[in-house]
Chain A
Amino acid sequence: MKTLLRDLRDFFVSLKLTVALLVFGMLLVFAATLDQTNLGIWGIQQKWFRTFIVWQEVRGISLPIFPGGYFIGGLLLLNLLAAHIARFTFTGRKAGIFLTHLGLILLLIGELLSGLWQEDFHLRLNEGDTKNYAESYRDNEVALTDITDATFDHVVTIPDALLERHASVQHPKLPFRVVAKAYYPNSLLQMRGPASPPSLATTGLGLEVVAAPQPMTYKPNEANLPSTYVELVAPDASPGTFLLSTGLVAPQRFDYGGRSWKITLRPKRIYEPFSLTLVKFSHDRYAGTAIPKNFSSRIKLTTPDGRDDREVLVSMNNPLRYAGLTFYQAGFENNDRTSILQVVRNPSWLLPYVACAMMNVGLVAQFGLHLVAFVQKRRAKLSVPAVA
């Protein structure tokens, strides 16, 4: 038993493990880079890095092919911690190495946290538009809005994760149950006809349009078009099954129980405690060319309490940081009249800065020490023949 424990300890503190993990890490990074041509930058992060095991579909069967980022990164973290606890004695000469590795530990933790916590949204503003929410790139939600009262909307949203599980949702604000019958992350909308695939819809636009499931796309210039069939079940006279899709832009309306409702599938929204108005988007080009020189959005920022009411300029390399969110100039469309901002929430954004500062100081100290020692030795050596 004792020898087993010692073997285990020796395994976890060994430098051989470090080297092996680094090499495995390199293979992982290399393979993931190549895979980006197929899966895109978001797809590879899920498949290769934010996972314990990398699965690859071979002829329809999912096979584990490689340890994932969490596995390798986690072991490296263990290895580092174990080595420092078991072997390391702190001396001035080794302060640099110690600091470097401490920084690395922090960096690994930071990457783990931003993988878990970081959220990306985008905000699409036409000139003159005001919005107080941003939309998710990938996540969608079914929104049910009670519009009976002209002055106030009640909104209930159901995230796509629940739709994918074919969940049945009973919400206290809704007089009916919402049952997800099918969810297609990517689909093709067609007119309903004799040749079209079977439809589950019994009411609304789904009587004329049908959604055919499609494989997900990861190409940068293509977008997925999710669709879902949702049944609204009530004790009496159920409203029926709707076809909802982000491709159907206008919400579908229906009446139930003496109240008016809207139902739609839309990108998941994050509401902000302030609103942004696009005053002007500018797209500067170099004289006589189409080469972009700068993109910038002049934006009016207002809070409901009236504390902030000012104009800000978001441009390339100059984001706006406000209320824990960061707004970056990400793109434009519609003949330079629509600005697209990327909105990121990452509570752990400061960690990499701290970690990297520690590692930089550590490396400079360590290699600086080497260099000084080398130069001194060399001087001593060279001075001998000069005298002779």
Chain B
Amino acid sequence: MKPSLFPALVALGAVVAVALTLQAPRNPGDYDVVAFSRLPTLVNGRLKPLDTVARTTLLLTQGRQRVTTPGGTTLTPGEWLLDVLYRPKVADTYPTFEIVHPEVLALFNLATTDGAGGKRFSAQQLAGHLGELERQAKLADGTESALRTPFQRAVVQLRESVILYQRLQHSLNDASSTDFLDRLARFEQALPAGLAATAPRGGANPHGSEDAKLLLEMSTVFSSLDSFAYLRTIPSEKPDDPTGWKTAGGAWADSLAQGRIAPAALTFAAIGRAWQLHQPEAFNQAVRSFRASLDAAMPAVMAKCDLEARFNSAQPFSTSASLYVLAFLVAVISWLKWPRALGQVAFVFVSIAFFLSTAGIVTRMWLEARPPVTNLYSSALFVGWGAVALCLVLEYFFRNAIGSVAAGLVGFATLLIAHHLSLGGDTLEMMRAVLDSNFWLATHVVTVTIGYSATFLAGFLALIYVLRGVFTRSLDNATADALTRMVYGIVCFATLFSFVGTVLGGIWADQSWGRFWGWDPKENGALLIVMWNAVILHCRWGGLVKQRGLMALTIFGNTVTAWSWFGVNMLGVGLHSYGFMDSAFWWLIAFVASQLAVIAIAGLPLEVWRSFQAPAART
């Protein structure tokens, strides 16, 4: 095979493989679960497809989107959601609660051997001890969230998962009774007569008819469903007013007052009955006609729901994470063998992964109608995106696979961080009042985040310099000089963006809070990055450091940036502490320790550096 043909073939293969992941999802059986999953609901102030609710709930309760039944079948998130909504007793047997803390297991008299995969348990297994869970969680509530023990955190989180699960079960169905949908059907027929019987003047019969009694019973059920439901699936009568979306319980309760049942409430009852009685045709018919009415009433909402469901199933960020790993490996090998061909292959992988990430970020922006960075999760995506973009530029100029290695490393690491941040719930959140300004989100937040990207990238390039230099013989003069130039250029870039971003933040603060600078932790974090970059540049200009010193300083920039990005959020104080997180603390410590270790390695005498043991020793 000709060497120039090889990269082209690999590129073609990769594109085809990626295109396959973007295909529309297919139904696992006769039920049109895909169409059901695309139906909209209002949750946490945002209209989203049921598919998103299913996936984010599963991520929250068990850390993954796939469900395996005790019988061994694998369910899609949509199928799982249908069972939770309409067949609660069956759903209760699915192992969908991840519990790893041994003391929490002890609360439930469970052992790891009782769980699927040693850590996933079903609602049925938890059922007997929910009172104790509630009691323990209440005890933990008294402790400030930053000071809670791991046990307390686990207990509070499990309670949150259980409540969310129970609220889902009570969204369209009364999970505590077995014949709710039948009674609903009777209610539907009894409504006109029953209303007449309970009406003030028509109520001649003091004991009431059977119908009136049913109405009374059901009205209590409806109001409890309305207050407990998680989903608001009954569309607003005015399509552009999201406050009008109701819970099913609320809609049924309204029917008592108005004598008229909302068509959507009837539809969700029909869907439920079809799902319970195993009638795929009735199910598909109900979903299809409901969907047609929604398409007519709110085409824009439905377009977004379709895209979001498609985006959920395509999982572009997970595909690009795999590609980044591949690119990294191929690029590293290219330093040892076939530099030209493998270098091109790595570049192709990085480009495809970058394209996918870009598409993912743009999709999120369109869904949210916001600039790219709105919370910690999206900042992780964007930090990676910015760094990889810079890597592509570097690789275009230098063509030595260093850009690809760094891209693979930073791209994968940031997507991994993003994945862990996504376990906290829906990542497309509504913006709190103080942050609700697209102008400042687009300017200050984006610039500061690019500053993070660049500082990290410079740090990772410096890591490559040190590790390659000490542990391999591959860091020749030309490569070392090229790396130095790259690091210097990226540090300049980082200084500019961190500075401009920090200043824009000051202007935003002056506009909204009345002071340009308030020594808030997040502001201080950004300031530290600017100052450290200034230190690096001044050391370089003043000749205080040479190549190795520059690399050591730049690696330390990684710890400064990590502190500013995550560390300050852990303090739990200040106006910016919107992204509080607890478990990541040890990861931060480990990261800082690893960076300090590499800095120590960089300080080893040159005789130990394998690359510099060659006769032509360098300074």
Contacts and interface: CB of A to CB of B under 8 A. Distances in A.
The yes or no verdict on A and B being binding partners is yes
Contacts of A88: none
A251 to B, nearest CB: 30
B541 interface: yes
Interface string A330-373: 10000000000010101001001100100110011001001100
Contacts of A45: 519
Contact of B573 (A37, A342, A344): A37
Given A33-B568, A363-B499, A286 B515 contact: no
Nearest to A342: B514
B513 A342 contact: yes
Query: In terms of DSSP, what is the predominant structure of the interface of chain B?
Result: helix
B532 A26 contact: yes
Interface stretch (B7-15, B54-62, B433-441): B433-441
B518 interface: yes
A135 to B, nearest CB: 15
A292 B44 CA distance: 11
Interface residues of B, number: 62
Nearest to A104: B534
Contacts of A284: 433
A26 B515 contact: no
Interface string A276-300: 0000000011111101111100000
Contacts of B503: 352, 356, 359-360
B430 A370 contact: no
A114 B242 contact: no
Interface stretch (A3-11, A14-22, A142-150, A258-266): A14-22
B542 interface: yes
A291 B535 contact: no
Nearest to B46: A286
Interface in B322-339: none
Contact of B242 (A287, A352, A371): A287
A30 B508 CA distance: 23
Contact of B514 (A110, A287, A319, A352): A319
Nearest to B567: A33
A291 B44 CA distance: 8
A319 B574 contact: no
Given A37-B571, A49-B519, A349 B242 contact: no
Contacts of A22: 531, 534-535, 538
Interface string B454-484: 0000000000000000000000000000000
A43 B41 CA distance: 46
A120 B514 contact: yes
Interface residues on A, range: 35 or more
Given A16-B544, A344-B515, A363 B496 contact: yes
A352 B51 CA distance: 48
A163 interface: no
Contacts of A294: 433, 436
Given A19-B542, A26-B532, A360-B503, A316 B495 contact: no
A349 B510 contact: yes
Interface string A95-111: 00000000000000011
26 contacts: A16-B542, A19-B538, A19-B542, A26-B560, A30-B524, A34-B571, A36-B574, A37-B572, A40-B573, A41-B573, A41-B574, A45-B519, A220-B573, A285-B45, A288-B42, A288-B44, A288-B45, A294-B433, A316-B512, A317-B511, A344-B515, A349-B510, A356-B506, A367-B492, A367-B496, A378-B397
Enumerate the 7 nearest inter-chain pairs by beta-carbon distance, A residue then B residue, closest first.
Answer: A286-B45, A15-B542, A344-B514, A356-B503, A287-B243, A287-B242, A292-B433
Interface of A: 15-16, 18-19, 22-23, 25-26, 29-30, 32-34, 36-37, 40-41, 44-45, 49, 110-111, 114, 118, 120, 220, 284-289, 291-295, 316-317, 319, 326, 328, 330, 342, 344, 346, 349, 352-353, 356, 359-360, 363-364, 367, 370-371, 374-375, 378
